[in-house]
């Protein structure tokens, strides 16, 4: 007799599915150090929020490695409670939270930890300078960023985070949290623009790093006067003399480095940049630079300026993506209002007699 209250399995055995081998996959070309990764940015995806945005980076070479995905929601401007002291400027608060399933290898808790509070404070500083808070007295603007997925490892999750290791993926300075904060700044700025809040400019986040390249050896040649003693660079960034001779270290600037690229990053910088006003609202640097190995501070200053300029270049490229996302949403709203005819925007409220401006 068949049991109708239970879903029975198949009477015969089943075979597991057979997938194609890895040899059938298409070869992925490694991007150059000056090439930025493509970004998917979409606005107005959270209906209850005043403004929202979703940002996603492309899938890395290894399909099993997660990529960066995060969403931002903006609520406000809305009035503060009556008991709050009067303020001529709006109060902007930002909160960044990792989803419990966002970090690979470890499940995060629901209560915010120290890393999330620190990133939230930096996010609030980066966005506060761009919003015209004087237009909204005694009002509150709340920005919530939720990280759905992270790429690679994060420095706060590794057991040897104090040594700066990245779970064997290249070593050096950890840039996972920098990439998360840069993406959060760009996504939150697009959400603020989608909410219709007046801003001085849009903020874009960019990351750049100096990568240590392996020296090229010459067999049968003695060390020249311009060569120095080889330094064995450990995974924790410490260097010790090994007695061998090699050329001076070569540092290559890499824009938008990924934790999964396998680079040995000596130093990295993350900036929040307003391109139209040519202003920086936030700078975050990590690592140490002394390429000459002789303690000369001038070379270190030049390299710091170089990595910051590289981060600004990366932020400028991200700004173009934000512009297109905001423009797409604006044209869609004008089309719903009947103010768009083909490729022309009606300047006045009358769609029949109003002047048109080509876009």
What is the full DSSP assignment across 87-129? Answer: -SS-EEEEEEEE-TTSSTTSPPPSS--HHHHHHHHHHHHHHHT
In which band, very low, low, confident or very high, does the pLDDT at 344 lie, cut at 50, 70 and 90? low
Residue 9: pLDDT over 90: no
Instruction: For residue range 277-290, list pLDDT tens digits in order.
Output: 999 999 999 987 76
Residue 347 lies in a domain: no
Q: How confident is the model over 60-84, as a mean pLDDT? A: 84
CATH value at residue 190:
3.30.230.70
Q: Is the pTM of this model over 0.85?
A: no
Residue 285 lies in a domain: yes
Q: CA torsion, points 181, 182, 185, 190, in degrees to nearest 10?
A: -140
Tokens of 50: 């005043």
Residue 255 lies in a domain: yes
Residue 230 lies in a domain: no
Instruction: For residue range 93-119, list pLDDT tens digits in order.
Output: 999 999 988 887 778 888 888 899 999
**Residue 151: CB atoms within 10 Å:** 22
Instruction: For residue range 210-233, list pLDDT tens digits in order.
Output: 998 765 444 444 444 444 434 444
Residue 127 lies in a domain: yes
Q: Report the number of distinct structural domains present in the chain.
A: 1
Residue 55 lies in a domain: yes
Residue 148 lies in a domain: yes
CB 155 within 8 A of CB 265: no
Cβ density class 247-267: b for 16+ within 10 Å, e for less: eebebebbbbbbbbbebbbbb
Bridge partners (DSSP) of residue 40 are: 56
Q: By residue range, what is the domain housing residue 56?
A: 40-156+171-215+250-290+299-337
Residue 16 lies in a domain: no
Output the DSSP codes for 201-269: S--EEEEEEEEEEPPPP-TT----TT-EEEEEE-TTS-EEEEEEEEPPPEEEEEES--TTS---EEEEE
CB 201 within 8 A of CB 280: no
């Amino acid at each position: 007799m068949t049991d109708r209250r239970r879903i029975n399995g198949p009477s015969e055995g089943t075979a597991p599915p057979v997938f194609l081998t890895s040899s059938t996959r298409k070869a992925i070309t490694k991007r150059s150090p000056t090439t930025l990764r493509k970004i998917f940015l979409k606005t107005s995806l959270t209906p209850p929020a005043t403004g929202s945005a979703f940002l996603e980076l492309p899938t890395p070479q290894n399909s099993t490695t997660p990529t960066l995905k995060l969403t931002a929601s903006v609520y406000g401007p809305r009035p503060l409670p009556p008991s709050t002291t009067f303020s001529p400027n709006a109060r902007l608060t930002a909160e960044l939270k990792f989803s419990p399933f966002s970090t690979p290898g470890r499940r995060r808790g629901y209560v915010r930890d120290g890393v999330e509070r620190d990133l939230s404070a930096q996010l609030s500083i980066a966005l506060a300078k761009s919003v015209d808070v004087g237009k909204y007295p005694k009002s509150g603007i709340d920005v919530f960023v939720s990280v759905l997925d992270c790429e690679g490892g994060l420095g706060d999750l590794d057991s040897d985070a104090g040594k700066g290791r990245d779970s064997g993926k290249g070593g050096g300075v950890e840039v996972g949290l920098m990439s998360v904060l840069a993406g959060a700044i760009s996504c939150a700025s697009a959400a603020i623009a989608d909410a219709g809040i007046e801003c001085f400019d849009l903020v874009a986040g960019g990351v750049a790093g100096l990568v240590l390249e392996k020296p090229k050896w010459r067999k049968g040649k003695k060390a020249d006067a311009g060569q120095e003693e080889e330094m064995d660079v450990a995974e924790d960034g410490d260097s010790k003399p090994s007695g061998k001779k090699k050329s001076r270290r070569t540092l290559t600037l890499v824009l938008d480095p990924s934790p999964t690229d396998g680079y040995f990053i000596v130093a990295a910088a993350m900036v929040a940049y307003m391109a139209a006003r040519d202003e920086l609202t936030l700078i975050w640097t990590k690592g140490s630079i002394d390429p000459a190995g002789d303690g000369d501070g001038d070379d270190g200053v030049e390299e710091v300026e170089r990595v910051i300029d590289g981060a600004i270049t990366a932020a400028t490229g991200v700004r173009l993506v934000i512009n297109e996302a905001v423009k797409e949403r604006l044209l869609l709203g004008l089309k719903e209002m009947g103010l768009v005819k083909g490729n022309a925007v009606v300047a006045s409220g009358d769609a029949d007699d109003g002047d048109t401006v080509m876009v």
